[in-house]
Amino acid sequence: MSIKTIPHFLNGAESNGNGSRTQPVYNPATGEQTGELRLADAADLQAAVANAKAAAESWNDISLARRTAVLFKFRELVAAHADELAALITAEHGKVISDAKGEIGRGLEVIEFACGVPQLLKGAYSDQASTGIDVFSYRQPLGVVAGITPFNFPVMVPLWMAPVAIATGNAFILKPSERDPSPSLLLAKLWKEAGLPDGVFQVLHGGKETVDGLLTHPDVDAISFVGSTPIAKYVHETATAHGKRVQALGGAKNHAIILPDADLDNAADHLAAAAFGSAGERCMAISVAVAVGDAADDLVIKVKERAEAVKVAEGTEPDAEMGPIITPASRDRMKGIVTAAADAGAELVVDGREFTVAGKEGGNWFGPTVIDKVTTDMEAYSEEIFGPVLSVVRIDTVEEAIDFINANPYGNGTAIFTSSGANARKFHRGVHVGMIGINVPIPVPVAYHSFGGWKNSLFGDKHIYGEEGVAFYTRAKVVTSRWPEPKQHSGASYNFPSN
């Protein structure tokens, strides 16, 4: 297999950059190296920021009508290249093709939302706010913004950010995950083909050094980050200390409550899909099932049947439902966590630790796993496993289940399965979590709402995309204006102005 070089995309063209360092990229289903990623050095970072700064100034002067035309064209190009993008995602991330297409679909929604930017930037006007005085307010872009993204959604997460940042008049630098960087280059080419001026969307590859360079650069105005909690916290602290606006979305431990009055077959279907889909490598995956009252025994039997039936294979197989884990290191970490839970007395109902795919033994395989009677002192509960592992916790009442969720340090997503509207209402009003599903296991909001968690799942005060995204990438300006008739001067007034 030939190994491709994966370049940056700077100022409208692919570039190997100045830096000499590289990093291997693998296919997680085979374990084979498929790419050599160029890593930026300090000069590459300086060049990217300088390009973006120059591009932002002219891009903000381009009419809303022309900006919108670029967004519409980009939307059409992403849709037309969905197969190609999905193949790139699966080759480096490992998720199944249908799932890769699903993330592209969610990304398209955000582009469609951003196509409505003229409406979103309309501003407000108060006629005759005081005698002869009008007041109007509107929002202007920040300038240069950077997006630092995780491996698990190499297309969707960059598309949560860039369309809104660009539509509102900013230049955007994407620092993608080093594990699956190729889809971001195709996105860059599609932006260019859509007519976006050079330098408005750039891709700069690198690790901590590059991230630190963006967090501290005086010409970078804002940082959007999505990734694990320790890095989100670090990014938020470092970039705010350097005067930047920051939204840093972190990790998760998402609980689903299953009440005895729920349709347990329906709940088990959704739980299995939410726990094992995309090999559990979703920040909105359900990793803890909170079985309330006597729901537990039947639920565990039903989830077990579904976990054992999941078709695990290379993501390119037409009937594959779940692919490999991103790295051997994450797979081994999961094995350790599951083993420790079993040793501490939890029941291993389905054990995926030794799972492998015949003929693909070099891949990072881990089968769907269900652990019952998990307790909070086990790492299976306290750690974000980020794999196809569902822990079951047994609790007596819905009130205790809500308190249990609220005691967890994460607050990204949560769900309830019930046929009681009263319990559902008690739940959504009472949980300290940002995104809530009622009989919906993975409640990722549509693009015209907004995405974000609470507590250790989001550092910063603005969600990503939706109107919160527009507010994040712009700042308000308020103009108070008076146009006196010629020669009608009111004379100097030394009092505080009154109306």
Is residue 178 part of the contact set for ligand NAD (CB under 6 A)? yes
Q: List the interface residues with ligand NAD, window 80-139 (CB under 6 A).
A: none
| 283 part of the active site | yes
Is residue 251 part of the contact set for ligand NAD (CB under 6 A)? yes
CB 479 within 8 Å of CB 135: yes
Q: Is 20 in a helix, a strand, or coil?
A: coil
Which CB, 90 or 423, lies closer to ligand NAD?
A: 90
Structure tokens given for 273: 């899909």
Q: What's the min distance (Å) between Cβ of 326 and ligand NAD? A: 7
Q: How many CB atoms lie within 10 A of CB 480?
A: 13
Out of 28, 141, 143, 150, point to the residue binding ligand NAD (CB under 6 A).
150
Write 47-51 long-range contacts (CB < 8 A, 24+).
Answer: 47/10, 47/11, 47/18, 48/8, 48/10, 48/173, 48/202, 48/204, 49/144, 49/173, 49/214, 49/217, 49/219, 49/220, 50/219, 51/10, 51/11, 51/171, 51/198, 51/199, 51/202
Could you give the C-alpha distances from 82 to 85, 130, 244, 316, 317, in angstroms and in order?
5, 54, 34, 15, 17
Is residue 408 part of the contact set for ligand NAD (CB under 6 A)? no
Is residue 417 part of the contact set for ligand NAD (CB under 6 A)? no
CB 259 within 8 Å of CB 293: yes
Contact letters for ligand NAD, residues 201-230 (x by CB under 6 A) = ------xx--x--------------xxx--
Which CB, 116 or 207, lies closer to ligand NAD?
A: 207
Out of 30, 152, 170, 369, point to the residue binding ligand NAD (CB under 6 A).
152
Q: List the interface residues with ligand NAD, window 307-346 (CB under 6 A).
A: none
Count of residues that interact with ligand NAD, criterion CB under 6 A: 27
Which CB, 77 or 203, lies closer to ligand NAD?
A: 203
Strand order from edge to edge, sheet including 13-15? 13-15, 8-10, 201-203, 171-175, 144-148, 222-226, 245-249, 458-459
Q: What's the min distance (Å) between Cβ of 11 and ligand NAD? A: 21
Which CB, 252 or 289, lies closer to ligand NAD?
A: 252
**Residues with catalytic function:** 283
By the criterion CB under 6 A, which residues form the site for ligand NAD? Answer: 148-153, 157, 175, 177-178, 207-208, 211, 226-228, 231, 249-252, 283, 384, 386, 412, 453, 457
